[in-house]
Chain A
Amino acid sequence: MTTTVPATKRKQRTLSLRDRAVRFAEMITTPLLPADYLDIISPLRSGADLRGRIEAIHPETRDAVTVVIRPGRGWRGHTPGQYIRIGVDVDGVRQWRAYSMTSPGDRPDGCITITVKAIPDGTVSNFLVRRARAGTVIQLDQATGDFVLGEQPPAKVLFVTAGSGITPAMGMLREVVQAAGAVPDIVMVHSAPTPQDVIFAGELRMLARQGQLRLIERYTDAEGLLDIATIGDVVEDWAEREVWACGPTGLLDAAEAHWTEAGIADRLHTERFRPTVLVTGEGGSVTFSKTETTTEADGSTPLLDAGEAAGVLMPSGCRMGICFGCVAPLREGAVRDLRTGDVTTAVPGDGVLVQTCISAAAGTCDIEL
């Protein structure tokens, strides 16, 4: 007991010394922070905002690449199956997106990987697949998500994946096959339009040849979409397996229905892609989330006016789009710039800042005020 007391005291003293050092450093750099100068020298140092450097970009298929990222010192690691948000600057504009991680938990080089498939009109996916270069520093968030195998992987596993839905499953698969000890009995049913579209095809087929995996590929261009109700035809013991499914909404909805019908819904884990297509139009329902106010606004009414009419205390200034005194975060939804007609969209976590005096609702939107 007695030994712990001075230890705590010492710890407190060093902490406050450190605090004092930080405060002194801030006095030197005010109005900026010491970090603003340190970032120039070392953007990936510990204590900095989490960033990563793209080390390499490997092609996987004609429209998918694996991006190898060296995370900054503040990276806390991940569990395969989880996803990360990354912020990349495309045409000078920072865009945040979430991608599943495809690397096992402990790559020897300390890097992590995401695998990205270019989707039509996808700003970030097309940038990463076709234009991104090694050496670029990107913004990162810590890994998150509960689509994981758990501490003790079950003895019998089934992955049901389609398209880029393979990515979280790949992370898990790599983790278990390289782990010491008994490899679980794994079956993977993967759908892709053609054999050439199968991401990680070489690695998957090799694992299958080595007997570490039973791989069932389905080519939907020729064979049509997989009818999940007939999964028993290809995986006889499907009901005995713990299942991880990732792919388009239709597949996941059908899987949930089928497993629920069988009374084993608790064995099914799903990861849904975020809906990327927002319904945009003229006007919509505007929610001011901090004040919990919702109002209907037409396509020509500035959000500022709509908010004020609904009794929200809106910051405002020139009311003509020049002073930026009315800027507020768009948490989610779509707004249209009344001057240019340009639509700005946001998904939760983006917090895109918009000028409320010249922006009108272009669909349902949520303003953080």
Chain B
Amino acid sequence: MTATINDPTAHLTTEDIETLGRELDAIREQIVASRGERDAAYIRKVIDAQRKLELASRAVLLFSLFPPAWLVGTAGLSVAKILENMEIGHNIMHGQWDWMRDEKIHSTTWEWDLVSPSEQWKHSHNQLHHTYTNVIGKDNDLGYGIMRVDENQKWYPLYLGQPLWNFVNACFFEYGIAAYDLELGKNLQKRRRQDPDFRARAKRVGEKIRAQVTKDYVVHPLLSGPSALTTLTANFTANVVRNLWTHSVIMCGHFPEGVATFERRSIVGETRGQWYLRQMLGSANISGSPLLHLMTGNLSYQIEHHLFPDLPSNRYAEIAPKVQELFERYQLPYVSGPLPKQVASAWKKIIKLSLPNGFFDKASEAAKPANLLKLIPGLASAEPKQPVRTAA
């Protein structure tokens, strides 16, 4: 196995990697053996709290004509939608709670509050992204097929705009996910457009979008009577807040500096130990409070999640120190940082790679920010707040 840049695994022998794999298996087995009532109570409590929060927020929004009600309702609904998508939906669809054998909290039956149908998301996320994590050309999460995320990708002038469309994608992330699950870029080519399978999937996405839009932008506003317009803006705001938040968290999982990407040929004949190693190097964590972990659906423990995607999310905090100890012992980089730092790092990478290789570093070293802005007008207009001075 080779990472494409500065192979951080060069010091490990094949035997080391397999031993590492067995140690990770042991951590996994400990958790599986101790899953029980406490965990089941946790997810039921989160679901219960989320539904009550959503109901209460929507009730408050019936009076959203009054600005305080709009504020409280929108904030509550945003939080409810974030919980629903991340700690609940994402994790249930990973099969993290399938062991409970509760058909209502099961990966095969769950449908989430997002325009992408769960069936399609499970395929692109669980099967493609989690199996081929950070393998260029196989893992579409790397830039969602529209961005340049690695220096080895050829640069085209079109990539100059990627900071801008990354921001647009962030605002309407749920539609981005739906398009990406449909592999729209590939499937809109003339020949593929007629494919009955693609058409059936596109139809399902259309139906889901219609149901979601009708709920948030027609039915609930109508129920609000005189507050119809303000309820509509509240629901729109909650969806955008949710989109921005989930996009930021997900960007922190694989984009920050220090995360490795892999070549297609490097995973041929990959062993379980090598697969584990790729997950370790291809993911990054977000450090923070228990509240932050809850609001990110514990994807702040992205490394642990990628090692054990089907273990209950409430256990990642407990696994993390053991995993970190392995990183130290095997001398591997455990990438982690607070949310603002990781978000800035991911944005920096996106901006940097929107330019030809070396251009960003040369420019930032040679010039003061003022001069830099003069040199690259496109950069300045696209992302004025980019963290130039945090360059490593």
Contacts and interface: CB of A to CB of B under 8 A. Distances in A.
A320 B214 CA distance: 39
Interface string A131-164: 0000000000000000000000000000000000
A322 B107 contact: no
Interface in B83-122: 94-95, 98-102, 104, 106-108, 111-113, 122
Given A40-B51, A317-B127, A325 B39 contact: no
A102 B369 CA distance: 83
Given A324-B95, A352-B101, A31 B51 contact: no
Contacts of A89: 37, 40, 100, 102
A302 B127 CA distance: 18
Contacts of B309: 322-323
B107 A324 contact: yes
Contacts of A273: none
Given A37-B51, A320-B272, A322-B130, A327 B112 contact: no
B264 interface: no
A31 B126 contact: no
A36 B323 CA distance: 37
A355 B100 CA distance: 14
A91 B38 CA distance: 8
A320 B310 contact: no
Interface string A319-341: 01111110100000000000110
B131 A36 contact: no
B378 interface: no
B18 interface: no
A353 B101 contact: yes
Contact of B108 (A92, A322, A327): A327
Interface stretch (B28-36, B159-167, B172-180): B28-36
B69 interface: no
A324 B48 contact: no
B275 interface: yes
A209 interface: no
A323 B100 contact: no
A325 B127 contact: yes
A340 B126 contact: no
Given A30-B211, A92-B40, A340 B32 contact: yes
Interface stretch (B134-142, B148-156, B215-223): B215-223
A28 B29 contact: no
A27 B210 CA distance: 10
Contact of B126 (A92, A94, A318): A318
B275 A320 contact: yes
Contact of A317 (B38, B48, B126): B126
B183 interface: no
A179 interface: no
Nearest to A92: B40
Given A30-B215, A93-B101, A327-B95, 12 more contacts: A28-B215, A28-B219, A31-B208, A93-B40, A94-B102, A317-B123, A322-B126, A323-B126, A323-B131, A324-B94, A327-B98, A339-B25
Interface of A: 24, 27-32, 36-37, 40, 89, 91-95, 317-318, 320-325, 327, 339-340, 342, 352-353, 355
